[in-house]
Amino acid sequence: MQTNENTRSGLPVRLKRIVIKAGSRVLVDDQGRPDHGRIQLLADELAELHGLHYEIILVTSGAIAAGVQALGWPKRPASLPELQMAAAVGQNVLMNIYAGGFSRHNITLGQILLTHADLNHRERHLNARNTMLAMLRNHVIPVVNENDVVAVDEIRFGDNDVLASMVSTLVHGHLLIMLTTSDGFFRMENGIMKERISVLESISEETLAMAQGKGSAWSSGGMASKLKAAQHAALSGTPVVIANGMENGMITNILQGTDTGTLILPNGSQNRLRARKKWIAFFHRPGGSVIVDDGAIDAIRLRGNSLLPVGIRQTEGSFEIGTLINIKNSGGKTIARGLTAYSRDDIERIKGRRSADLPSLIGDYRFEEVIHRDNMVVLDE
């Protein structure tokens, strides 16, 4: 295998930093138990790539399944405390399996557990990034999972597909590979699966509709979840491949340029988002919204302008100064998001008014813009 080079159209010619997401259905057997043989094969393949000087970050699922087996429970529990207990037990079990698999190759692993709140907080966000990069410089493979023990709905990623896309964005990955039990994304016609789609240049609402479906008893994701996560990664400039992790050598085949799985291409107009704007776009959870008129949308999309009060028609939610909020069109679609210079109460006073009117409308007048362009990311152009 030629190191760090591939020939598949749409992928960078040279790849080095690869984020691998292994889903629960790839890591557990039919009874929901960790599949030691499958995990060893994954470790062997990643160890070979590590020896070829690829930088590997592994995002893993499977902790809850491992915990359920270790505790002797017949099925995955429904209550949050029991799920968190299973995760606490299972993280140790899962890491021991990985450690055993990689020890055959004299490779050291480092476990990183994250919540959305960790990446939402700018300082912790940078600490997580710096830790991962230090591990890579020292030839340690980071093994990343959600910190289910402390995560509740407000700070959860939702599933590890989202976590994988965020990790890829965090470390500026060259490629994100999402391993599942499917051969990729397939075109659907009247509910019937047709041919595999080799390359997706964009992900539309129609594409997401074709992918609707739930995960299994041991996983929270599905194809729609993977496509949404791929949208996030692609927006930041990272190509994504969704492929069948049950096939031996799949990662190597992808890196060699084999036409396998489905490749989702980066959004060319947004593939050089600066670090701060990536943080705004992906890691900061919106605390509210403003509905704007068509004139404001054109000003933002076509002319690269800031959001002014005159274009705002309505607010949603309760938020304060500095909160990340969505900017939506009249149909409710989010077209951008950014950090607001005004609270929701102040925006209610100044919406639809010209900037020159602001001093007479609110006593604490600060900025002409509600969201400055430097604090805004356009999501759909």
Residue by residue, DSSP assigns 281-345 as: IIISPP--EEEE-HHHHHHHHTT-PPBPGGGEEEEES---TT-EEEEE-TTS-EEEEEE-SS-HH
pLDDT at 350 over 80: yes
Q: Which pLDDT does position 269 carry in this prediction?
A: 47
The distance of Cα 93 from the centroid of its chain, to the nearest Å, equals: 25
Q: Which pLDDT does position 155 carry in this prediction?
A: 46
d(CA 173, CA 271): 12
Do 236 and 337 have their domain in common? no
Bridge-based pairing state of the strands 141-146 and 109-114? parallel
DSSP assignment of 85-153, as one string? HHHHHHHHHHHHHHHHHHHTTT--EEEEEE-HHHHHSHHHHHHHHHHHHHHHHTTPEEEEEE-TTT--G
Whole-number average pLDDT of the chain: 86
Q: Which pLDDT does position 30 carry in this prediction?
A: 87
For position 124, which CATH number holds? Answer: 3.40.1160.10
Whether 281 is covered by a domain: the verdict is no
Q: Which pLDDT does position 1 carry in this prediction?
A: 47
Axis-axis angle for helices 223-235, 160-170 (nearest 10): 10
Tokens of 229: 């996560």
- Final residue of a domain: which of 254, 275, 296? 275
Do 270 and 290 have their domain in common? no
The region, left, alpha or beta by phi > 0 then psi within -120 to 50, assigned to residue 302 is alpha
Do 260 and 336 have their domain in common? no
- Final residue of a domain: which of 275, 301, 318? 275
C-alpha torsion sign, points 176, 180, 183, 184: negative
Mean pLDDT of all residues in 89-105: 97
pLDDT at 156 over 90: no
Mean pLDDT of all residues in 254-269: 85
Q: Helices in 249-290 by DSSP H: which ranges? A: 250-255, 275-278
Do 329 and 193 have their domain in common? no
d(CA 172, CA 150): 27
Label residue 230 by pLDDT band (50, 70, 90).
confident
Do 59 and 201 have their domain in common? yes
Of 280, 241, 265, which Cα lies nearest the Cα of 374?
280
For position 304, which CATH number holds? Answer: 2.30.130.10
d(CA 220, CA 158): 8
- CB contact at 8 A, 146 and 163: yes
Q: Which residues pair with 262 in a beta bridge?
A: 242
d(CA 355, CA 351): 10
Q: Which pLDDT does position 311 carry in this prediction?
A: 96
Q: Which pLDDT does position 159 carry in this prediction?
A: 67
Sequence-distant (6+) residues with CB within 8 A of 138 are none
Label residue 13 by pLDDT band (50, 70, 90).
low
Select the more confidently predicted residue: 117 or 75.
75
- CB contact at 8 A, 291 and 312: yes
Select the more confidently predicted residue: 261 or 13.
261
Whether 237 is covered by a domain: the verdict is yes
Do 71 and 93 have their domain in common? yes
Percent of the chain with pLDDT over 70: 87
CB-based contacts of 2-8 (< 8 A; 24+ apart in sequence):
2/256, 3/52, 3/53, 3/54, 4/52, 4/53, 4/54, 6/254, 6/255, 6/256, 6/257, 7/256, 7/257, 8/254, 8/257, 8/258, 8/259, 8/263
Tokens of 266: 């980066």
Do 97 and 147 have their domain in common? yes
Q: How many CB atoms lie within 10 A of CB 125?
A: 20
- For the chain, the domain total comes to 2
Do 172 and 316 have their domain in common? no
Percent of the chain with pLDDT over 90: 55
For the question of whether the overall pTM of this predicted structure is more than 0.95, the answer is no
pLDDT at 11 over 80: no
pLDDT at 49 over 90: yes
Select the more confidently predicted residue: 28 or 358.
28
Q: Which pLDDT does position 297 carry in this prediction?
A: 96
Q: Which pLDDT does position 254 carry in this prediction?
A: 94
Do 151 and 180 have their domain in common? yes
Provide the residue range defining the domain that includes 294. Answer: 286-378
Do 373 and 269 have their domain in common? no
Do 266 and 320 have their domain in common? no
Q: How many CB atoms lie within 10 A of CB 187?
A: 12
Q: Which pLDDT does position 44 carry in this prediction?
A: 98
- Kindly report, residue by residue over 275-298, the tens digit of the pLDDT: 667 777 777 778 999 999 999 999
Q: Return the amino acid letter for 202.
A: S
Tokens of 209: 């509709």
Q: Which pLDDT does position 361 carry in this prediction?
A: 85
Label residue 241 by pLDDT band (50, 70, 90).
very high
Whether 57 is covered by a domain: the verdict is yes
Q: Which pLDDT does position 92 carry in this prediction?
A: 95
Label residue 362 by pLDDT band (50, 70, 90).
confident
Return the half-sphere exposure (C-beta side, CA atoms, 13 A cut-off) of residue 282: 29
